[in-house]
Amino acid sequence: MKHKIAPSLLAANFMNLQKEIEMINASEADWLHLDIMDGVFVPNISFGFPVIESLKNHCTKPLDVHLMIVEPQKFIPEVAACGAYMMNVHYEACIHLHRTVAAIKEAGMKAGVTLNPHTPIALLEDILCDLDMVLLMSVDPGYGGQHFIEHSVDKTARLKEMILRQGTDTLIEVDGGVNMETAKRLLEVGADVLVAGNFVFRADDPKQVIRDLKDL
Ligand code: DX5
Ligand code: ZN
């Protein structure tokens, strides 16, 4: 399967969201990545459901929603109502992860589980078979434009091994500090989906950058 690119709207120009969505629609992006932050789970607040509601009928790409919030299970109906394709919850924010994953699927979405950089992949051994995707954070979540944590390449490789060993079809998405150089190394070790915020939206020609990332 050809890898997917999911530009992160966090780095977009919010004064001109319509233009940014039109750029995404016209690009080779596979998904649009949406970062919801609550100022509790992460030390920052981004945007919430009204923003996603207002763009959902204009964006032609599947919505990949990344919830950096405590108690994400409380908002499954709201995320589903936003038309999300994938709902990603943090492992660190879920006590009853199996129940939450089942509820996400029940609501008609794909289920992704996100790991902070310091959270070992071994903690997913007993739930991997139920996951559509694992989202590996390659920066501490909360802000765009941070420096890529090198260890993420080795972590991606080990997660790929675990997926092959268990024979699941779980996707691996990596988020944070993705650029042409880190993207290449992540794809070599088995990443399926790459999130890119600043590298795409702050470029002179974002569509070309997306095309370049797709061509890797
Ligand atoms: C960080 C977010 C990321 C962020 C990535 O907490 O989860 O999705 O937008 O931004 P870049 O690609 O600029 O590191
Ligand atoms: Zn994200």
| Ligand 1 midpoint to CA 10 (Å) | 7
Of 58, 74, 43, residue with least CA distance to 9? 58
Q: Give every strand in the sheet of 193-196, ordered side by side.
A: 4-7, 193-196, 171-175, 133-137, 110-115, 86-90, 63-68, 32-37
What pLDDT does residue 66 have? 99
Specify the ligand 1 atom closest to the Cα of 137: 7
Known catalytic membership, residue 175: yes
Q: Percent of the chain beyond pLDDT 90? A: 100
For residue 78, is pLDDT > 80? yes
Contact call for residues 39 and 70 (beta carbons, < 8 A): no
Q: What average pLDDT does the structure give for the chain? A: 98
> What is the pTM (predicted TM-score) of this model?
0.98
Could you read off the pLDDT of 132-171 as tens digits, one per residue?
A: 999 999 999 999 999 999 999 999 999 999 999 999 999 9
Q: What is the mean pLDDT of residues 196-210?
A: 98
Instruction: For the chain, give every domain's residue range.
Output: 4-214
Could you read off the pLDDT of 13-69 as tens digits, one per residue?
A: 999 999 999 999 999 999 999 999 999 999 999 999 999 999 999 999 999 999 999
Active-site pick, 38, 132, 175, 192: 175
Measured distance CA(94)–CA(110) in Å, rounded: 17
Structure tokens at 60: 């032609």
Of 187, 189, 171, residue with least CA distance to 31? 171
Specify the ligand 1 atom closest to the Cα of 9: 9
* Conformation bin of residue 170: beta by default, left when phi > 0, alpha when psi is -120 to 50: beta
Measured distance CA(25)–CA(61) in Å, rounded: 7
Q: Rounded to the nearest 5°, which phi and psi values hold at 196? A: -145, 125
Known catalytic membership, residue 35: yes
What pLDDT does residue 139 have? 98
What pLDDT does residue 1 have? 77
Q: What is the mean pLDDT of residues 1-23?
A: 97
For residue 196, the one-letter residue type is: A
CATH domain 4-214 topology: TIM Barrel (3.20.20)
Q: What is the mean pLDDT of residues 81-108?
A: 98
Residue given tokens 């204009």 in the structure block: 58
Q: Is the CB of 192 under 6 A from ligand 1?
A: no
Q: Is the CB of 170 under 6 A from ligand 1?
A: no
Instruction: Using CA atoms of 95, 98, 103, 106 in order, give the dihedral in degrees to the nearest 10.
Output: 170
Specify the ligand 1 atom closest to the Cα of 177: 14
Task: Please list all protein residues whose beta carbon sits less than 5 angstroms from ligand 2, which is an ion.
Answer: 35, 66, 175
Confidence of residue 190 (pLDDT cuts 50, 70, 90): very high
| Ligand 1 midpoint to CA 43 (Å) | 14
Q: Is the CB of 197 under 6 A from ligand 1?
A: yes
For residue 7, is pLDDT > 80? yes
Measured distance CA(196)–CA(193) in Å, rounded: 10
Q: What is the mean pLDDT of residues 88-116?
A: 98
